Amino acid sequence: MGANGNDAVVDRVAITQSNRFYYWHVKEFPSARRDIELNSANMHMVPANAEVERTLRSLHTGQRVTFSGYLIEARATDGWRWKSSLTRDDTEAGACELVWVEKIAAH
């Protein structure tokens, strides 16, 4: 979780996903609410190359990663598109992000 990526914060945030929605819950805020909102998100990863794809496929639940890339929208020639948030500072419905991942490292 970005600046919140230390165990003292992460271990106190419960994260779930249901029906394509990402939820987090805390009993007591371990850091500012806005910090949690800005440093966590429902992200769908699109690998930029085979190496990134292999790393993504090797990850397991709860594993921490560092990655870089771009927020994107996907579009097909038949008119289909996957709408994605193109900003990191929104929340609530429609805030999930499609990410073109250029580099990733598991920790």
Residue 2 has pLDDT above 70, yes or no: no
Q: What is the DSSP letter of 27?
A: S
Residue 5 has pLDDT above 70, yes or no: no
Any long-range contacts for 85-89 (C-beta under 8 Å, 24+ apart)? Answer: 88/38, 88/41, 89/38
Output 2 or 37, whichever has higher pLDDT. 37
pLDDT tens across 23-81, in order?
A: 889 999 998 999 888 888 888 999 999 999 999 999 998 888 999 999 999 999 999 99
User: So what's the pLDDT on residue 87?
Assistant: 81
Q: Burial letters for 76-102: b for 16+ Cβ neighbours within 10 Å, e otherwise?
A: eeeeeeeebbeeeeeeeeebbbbbebe
* CB-based burial label for 72 (10 Å; 0-12, 13-18, 19+): middle
User: So what's the pLDDT on residue 17?
Assistant: 85
User: So what's the pLDDT on residue 40?
Assistant: 84
Domain extent listing, the chain? 1-40, 41-107
Q: How confident is the model at residue 85 (pLDDT cuts 50, 70, 90)?
A: confident
- Strand, helix or coil at 54? helix
pTM: 0.79
